[in-house]
Amino acid sequence: MQKLETVVLPVGQYLIFRIHLMYIPLFFPQRITVSTSVRSARMACLCLLGIACQWLLPFPVSAQNITRTMANQLLAGLQKNTADTTRISALIELGKFQIYKAGEVRSDLDSAIAYLQEAKDLSRKLMLQRKLHKVESLLSVAYVERGDFQTGKAHFDNLIAECRVSGDKEAEAEANYRFATCIRYILQNYPDAFSYYHEAENLYKALHDQEKEIQVAEQIASLHEDLGHLDLAEAKFLVVLNRYKAIKFPRLHYIYSSLASVNRLKGNYDKALFYSLQCLESMNRTQDTLSAAAFYGTLAEIYGDLNKPAESVYWYKKTLQQWRYEKLPNFSLYNAAYHIVQDLVAHHKTQEALRLLASLVREIKPINNIQKGCVAQAQAFCYEDLKNYALAEKYYLESVDWFDQSGSDFEMSQKVQVDVGAFYLKRNNYKKAGLFLRKALSYSPVKNSLSTIKDVHFMLFKVDSTAGNYTSAINHFRQHKILNDSIFNETKSRQLAELEVRYATAQKEQQIQRQQHELEKGKTMRNSILAGATLLLGLLAISYNQYRLKQQSNKLLEAKQQEINQKNESLQHILIDKDSLLKEKEELLEEKEWMLKEIHHRVKNNLQIITSLLHSQGVYLKDKAALSAIRESQNRVHVMALIHQKLYQSDRLATISMAEYIDEIVDYLLVTFDRQNSVIKKVTVTPVNLDIILAVPIGLILNEVVTNSLKYAFPAGQKGTIGIELIEVASQTYRLTLSDDGVGFPPDLNPNRSRTLGMSLIRGLSKQLGGKLEINQESGVVISLLFNEEKVGVTETACI
């Protein structure tokens, strides 16, 4: 048994968030019998007509299903979750995902039932009644969809009974709504669907939940539309619209789109265009663009019926772009491509049309009969233009067969009959042409727009005239004329033109407003950059002042040390009051250590304040160069702050463990640039403790080189390795080697003469260390610095 086939109707009858997933049963009887064997024999592929939304939850606001990525995350979380509400919620979401995801695998439903059964058992154990009711509601849908109607109905009946005993009207309303939608699309049991919808509507009315009550009324109106009761559907949609406005419901674009679809089918193109433009205006105003592709498709269909191919193709391209971005197999994706192919063929670009179809199918493979039928229909159109009539006929008939297998009766399944009839009419095969054209008119309720029906009558006029059946030919011509006059009369044409002008004017006004807003944003950005530059200069001044304070503190500490040393010498000659003098010495030593730690602590805090100020400034900056400068300044300040943090936390007050220091700097930079998953660090550091005078410039050099590698060595997320090595080559002589296997420096950049801030800092700090700097760029970049603890201040620089 196939599971479901997912389609989005081009006319926009079924919109995202309107919960219109249509199931067309191919082997369901009018009544479901008790016999399991008979039921299993009759259960076959269920075809899903509707949009890529889910009717699994009761209302549009909460009807979004989870994505595959989210499902994988939930599965990973199940390995950790204990028996709590979090696990129950995860199991429910996974069950819904398996029920409603696109595909035709029965095992999906088995998995769904397994997840929901576990959630049910856990809900009972924890005595969570509302969770239990939600699970039961989903189980009833899962069993009916799998073909076990009796089990599904039993779950539903038991749930309704429990809700009435416990007084849980909200769960009862949701269950009625969910089950109504289920039997509406799976069993096509419309009387019962109406009954359950009305029950849900009454319950929400009793709960004073106006929004959900109106949304149920909207579904009742859409069911009338499905049954071809277009006048009644329009009247009910208008009532729903007024009720939405009364409660100030903002997202009116969904109901506007429904009204546009109904009026398009009725041939009221002035109203259809008006509501479609209102739909786009509401969507843009609320920024709720989730269903933009469906709305664009509705407008494209309207312009197509009005014989405005340029406007129609424009909106079809927008809807194709929107669906293609999602990379999900969807009928509207292939339907939009079909209409774009027709336009390309009309402009003698048939090979380009075939390439479009090939790339689309290769990128997003069709997964069900309806999608395959749409692709075959487009291919037939191309080969007909190439005069390969045998291949065109093959694809036309293949398309008809795919739609017949799906059991669908929506617009495109009828439109393909029209296309095939037109093909045979051009080949002068009037018998076959009449067969397919008459079949296109035999559907009940009629799903095609009046514009298409008008064309069918005209083609049948030609068929019957050729066959000598003049009475029938005259009747068809009369029908064609009546429909044509009703659609394209002078009044409606003038109204359509006025609507288009009004919409274009509104769009121009919005464009002007956006441009003015962009100018204001530009001014604000320039002012922010100037303010940021001023603040940065101030922060640099503060940093310099902190450095000077640190130097003064070091001088005070040296003087204190000399005083302590003098007292220690005096103590050696004093034997009287030995204990008290020793105690004074210990107190002085403790005071020294405390003072040193306090100084390091305060310097570290001041540097962290600078980092915070830089971060706060960065929030208000939009210019990428300014943001990059702010972030690099933060990293430099962090390197200095890390020194003082380690001295404050360590028992050593003048030397730093270089292994820990270097490792923390590299880890910090990898996290800062979000490259910890793509760049591997290889750190080899000799266990050595260096004086702070050496550690600070080494840390700053390391910061500059690693920052440069992370920014430029591995473009576009390229993976790579950064190597850091600090070894002792002789007594008190060390070599610091920094390397990466990235793309290297640009060919036109000479690092020895570069005046960038980073390279200037590296050369200046190397000079401060009295070290020998070497830069090698034969394979990636390798920077080597040889320095001696006793030669701080001696500069010896050589570059390769």
DSSP calls for 597-653: HHHHHHHHHHHHHHHHHHHHHHHT---HHHHHHHHHHHHHHHHHHHHHHHHHHSS-S
Report the pLDDT value the prediction gives residue 220, as an integer from 0 to 100. 95
8 A C-beta contact, residue 795 and residue 770: yes
pLDDT in tens, 332-382: 888 888 899 989 999 999 999 999 999 998 988 888 888 888 899 999 989
CA 387 to chain centre: 43
Query: Would you state the structure tokens that stand for residue 17, as one six-digit string?
Result: 């968030």
What pLDDT shows up at residue 574? 64
Give the tokens for residue 592: 């020294």
Amino acid, single-letter form, for residue 621: L
* Residues 590-646: tens digit of each pLDDT: 666 666 656 665 665 667 677 776 666 666 676 777 777 776 777 777 767 666 666
How many other C-beta atoms can be found within 10 angstroms of the C-beta atom of residue 603?
22
User: Cβ of 678: how many Cβ atoms within 10 Å?
Assistant: 14
Instruction: Tell me if residue 724 falls in helix, strand or coil.
Output: strand
pLDDT attached to residue 175:
93
Query: Which among 514, 513, 647, 525 is positioned nearest to 593, based on CA atoms?
Result: 647
pLDDT of 615: 66
**How many angstroms separate the CA atoms of 301 and 187, rounded?**
29
CA distance 314 to 71: 36
Rg for the chain (alpha carbons), in Å? 38
User: Residues near 476 by Cβ (< 8 Å), separated by ≥ 6?
Assistant: 457, 458, 460, 461, 464
User: For residue 584, what are the contacts with CB-CB under 8 A and spacing of at least 6?
Assistant: 567
C-alpha count within 13 angstroms, C-beta hemisphere, residue 426: 12
- Give me the pLDDT at residue 519, please: 74
CB 88 within 8 A of CB 119: yes
Q: How many CB atoms lie within 10 A of CB 250?
A: 10
Amino acid at 82: T
Distance CA 65, CA 98 (A): 10
Output the six-digit token pair for 160: 């309704």
- The pLDDT value recorded for residue 672 is 84
The whole-number pLDDT of residue 21 equals 34
pLDDT of 597 reads: 57
**CA dist list (Å): 702 to 433, 618, 713, 726, 792:** 79, 24, 15, 11, 18
Task: Give residue 605's pLDDT.
Answer: 67
Q: CA 741, CA 745: separation in Å to the nearest integer?
A: 11
Distance CA 686, CA 659 (A): 7
The predicted pLDDT at position 576 comes to 57
Q: Residue 706 phi/psi, 5° resolution?
A: -65, -40
Q: Over the chain (800 residues), what is each successive 10-residue block's mean pLDDT?
A: 34 34 28 31 33 33 58 83 83 86 70 91 90 92 89 93 93 93 86 94 94 95 89 94 94 94 86 90 88 88 86 90 78 87 92 92 86 90 92 91 77 82 90 88 66 85 87 86 72 57 61 69 78 82 82 82 79 63 64 61 67 68 72 72 64 74 86 87 89 85 88 86 91 90 81 76 86 84 88 43
The pLDDT of residue 520 is 76
Kindly give, in sequence order, each residue whose CB lies less than 8 Å from that of residue 613, ignoring residues fewer than 6 positions away.
535, 539
pLDDT, residue 49, reads 32
Cβ atoms of 767 and 795 within 8 Å: the answer is yes
Length of the chain in residues, anyone? 800
**Cβ contact 334:366 at 8 Å:** yes
Tokens representing 342? 């027709």
CA-to-CA distance for 176 and 199, rounded, in angstroms?
7
Report the greatest alpha carbon distance in the chain: 142
Residues 6+ apart with CB under 8 A from 157: none
d(CA 376, CA 393) in angstroms, rounded, equals 10
pLDDT value of position 114: 93
User: What is the rounded distance in angstroms from the CA atom of residue 719 to the CA atom of residue 721?
Assistant: 7
Q: What's the token pair of residue 349?
A: 């670009």
Helix (H, G, I), strand (E, B) or coil at 267: coil
Q: Pairing mode, if any, of strands 689-691 and 720-730?
A: unpaired
Q: For 366, what's the count of Cα atoms within 13 Å in the CB-facing half-sphere?
A: 21
